Amino acid sequence: MTTSAASALAQRKELADDPHRPQYHFLPPANWMNDPNGLMQWKGQYHLFYQYNPYSPVHERMHWGHAVSSDLVHWTDLPIALTPTPGRADAGGCWSGCAIDNHGTPTLLYSGVYPQVVCLATSADDLLTWQYYSGNPVIAGPPPELLAGTGGHFRDPFVWKEGNCWYMLMGSKIEGVGGTLLLYRSLDLTTWEYLHPLLVGDASKFQPVWTGEMWECPNFLAFGDQRVLLFSALGAQERDLLYPLYITGAFRDEHFLPLAQGMLVHGGYFYAPQVMHDDQGRYIMWGWLKEGRRNSLLEEAGWAGVMSLPIIVAPLPGGRLSLEPVPELTMLREKHWRYEGIELSRVSNFLLEDSRDDRLEMLAEFEPGQHCEFGVKLRCSPDGQEQTRLVYQSASQQVTIEREQSSANSEVDRGNDSVVIEAGEVLKLHIFLDHSVLEVFVNGCCYLASRIYPECRDSLGLELFARSGTVRVRSLDIWRLASIWNI
């Protein structure tokens, strides 16, 4: 084992008993992580890079951490890929960016700070070590005519190829107008020509959703003729992270023709997603799941931030997106419980005594009656004081994660988060619980991610309940999931 692998393992072992630390989601050995970066499949292996501060659980002097997987589920830590280096354009930090295969040369384009510029690095040893390009920065900042309006916000290159040309999108803003993504073109990845903004937001519009004042972390996906643009919206302040948005449309003559827009993920904790195209033709997305607790608690814990599950993204008719966890995750399933035909009402809840746990997958199909409100309680303490509820209300067609009782600790987030769904005859909930991480896929097209931090070690209870009306649980499968770490 290399020294870096041994020290990563030692760090993982030290934190392994933390009851809030997820066990089947990827996260670094210790300390701070945020955005997924440079996702790429190389020689059959999946490479995940990520924004990483190896020294403390705060966002500071960002490096690129690196892990590799052959199955999308189990990960091996590799040495840090990019380190901010004095005298270079990334001296202040190696911020987010992407990976491409340039005719057999793995190449990273990433953000150097401060000021925000575009840097390039290549690898000659299958992504293990990276050589900083001597001509960096390849783009020294926003186009001069836009510089003042951007306030220097210029980051997170996303690069793709069309015919002979490379294109790049850069996250930015136009002061007093809104977020924007700037489009560049190149033939060799080192000389870039600025074309125009691919899209400009309108920060004065609050409906159907506020798109913020700055846009970061763009991704531009091609599904035949159809394109899906993803980006993350930033609010008025530098650290006011809002949410990821998507816009479907077409790309013609270097211009984007938007069609439909929506919120990519609900729940308030998923941010800065990046998507990878794999050799099975799938677009697989990861996002950063933020913490929902004070910095002092992060310092105490010694770690902060976790990757979402890998999620397959595909367009659906009507401008919506299908979002589903990758099927590879089924390899984690251990003990299984199955229930069928349970009738729930206000006087008849259903306690799932056998499957009490904090590391579960649940697949439930409900047939809601008229005017009903029902759901699943998770992480309940024996006295019911701590509990998190996932609730569906038929009148408002809302799915809500109710967290006000999720923790006895008042220093963690305990707000509710709701999403309105398209109701059908059946409500299908696919739930992943991994200690402090709760991810819910609703009807295959709506995804919520949240964080919960129960205090009581025994807050492991599970229960199906109805608050009003009646509901039939057509089927419920529950699996205990294995840890992905061999420690």
Query: What positions carry a catalytic annotation?
Result: 35
> Is position 155 an interface residue for ligand DQQ (rule: CB under 6 A)?
yes
Residue number, 276 or 433, with CB nearest to ligand DQQ: 276
Phi and psi angles of residue 55, each rounded to the nearest 5 degrees, phi first: -105, -25
> Is position 31 an interface residue for ligand DQQ (rule: CB under 6 A)?
no
> Is position 34 an interface residue for ligand DQQ (rule: CB under 6 A)?
yes
First to last CA, the chain: 15
Residue number, 96 or 308, with CB nearest to ligand DQQ: 96
- Which positions ≥6 away from 443 have C-beta within 8 Å? 421, 422, 424, 427, 428
Contact 324, 313 (CB under 8 A): no
Q: Which residues of 10-39 are buried (b: 16+ CB within 10 A; e: fewer)?
A: ebbeebeeeebbbbbbbbbbbbbbbbbbbb
Quick one: which of 69, 111, 150, 180 contacts ligand DQQ (CB under 6 A)?
111
* CA-derived radius of gyration, the chain: 22
Quick one: which of 156, 213, 357, 413 contacts ligand DQQ (CB under 6 A)?
156
Contact 149, 174 (CB under 8 A): yes
Of 147, 122, 146, give the one whose Cα is nearest residue 134: 122
Least distance to ligand DQQ, CB of residue 451, Å: 16
Contact 358, 265 (CB under 8 A): no
Structure tokens at 104: 């057999």
Q: What angle do CA 301, 266, 361 make, to 5 degrees?
A: 65
Contact 66, 94 (CB under 8 A): no
* DSSP assignment letter at 12: H
The site that binds ligand DQQ (CB under 6 A) totals a number of residues, namely 13
Least distance to ligand DQQ, CB of residue 288, Å: 6
Least distance to ligand DQQ, CB of residue 95, Å: 3
Residue number, 21 or 173, with CB nearest to ligand DQQ: 173
Least distance to ligand DQQ, CB of residue 382, Å: 39
DSSP 35-76: EEEEEEEETTEEEEEEEEETTSSSS-S-EEEEEEESSSSS-E
Quick one: which of 11, 31, 41, 51 contacts ligand DQQ (CB under 6 A)?
51
Tokens 């008025």 belong to residue: 236
> Is position 217 an interface residue for ligand DQQ (rule: CB under 6 A)?
yes
Least distance to ligand DQQ, CB of residue 396, Å: 31
Tokens 């067609």 belong to residue: 397
Residue number, 156 or 402, with CB nearest to ligand DQQ: 156
What does DSSP say about strands 165-174 and 178-186: parallel, antiparallel, or unpaired? Answer: antiparallel
- Which positions ≥6 away from 3 have C-beta within 8 Å? none
Residue number, 181 or 217, with CB nearest to ligand DQQ: 217
Residue number, 111 or 459, with CB nearest to ligand DQQ: 111
> Is position 180 an interface residue for ligand DQQ (rule: CB under 6 A)?
no
Contact 230, 98 (CB under 8 A): no
> Is position 272 an interface residue for ligand DQQ (rule: CB under 6 A)?
yes
Contact 418, 403 (CB under 8 A): no
> Is position 41 an interface residue for ligand DQQ (rule: CB under 6 A)?
no
Structure tokens at 39: 């996702």
Structure tokens at 112: 């150097």
Residue number, 31 or 96, with CB nearest to ligand DQQ: 96
Least distance to ligand DQQ, CB of residue 51, Å: 4
The burial of 138, by beta-carbon neighbours within 10 Å (0-12 exposed, 13-18 middle, 19 or more buried), is given as: buried
Residue number, 289 or 309, with CB nearest to ligand DQQ: 289
Residue number, 35 or 361, with CB nearest to ligand DQQ: 35
Q: How far apart are the C-alpha atoms of 301 and 11, rounded to whole Å? A: 12
Least distance to ligand DQQ, CB of residue 216, Å: 4
> Is position 35 an interface residue for ligand DQQ (rule: CB under 6 A)?
yes
Over the window 86 to 105, marking each residue x when it contacts ligand DQQ by CB under 6 A and - when it does not, the resulting string is ---------xx---------
Least distance to ligand DQQ, CB of residue 80, Å: 15
Over the window 410 to 449, marking each residue x when it contacts ligand DQQ by CB under 6 A and - when it does not, the resulting string is ----------------------------------------
Least distance to ligand DQQ, CB of residue 62, Å: 5
Residues forming the site for ligand DQQ (CB under 6 A): 34-35, 51, 62, 95-96, 111, 155-156, 216-217, 271-272
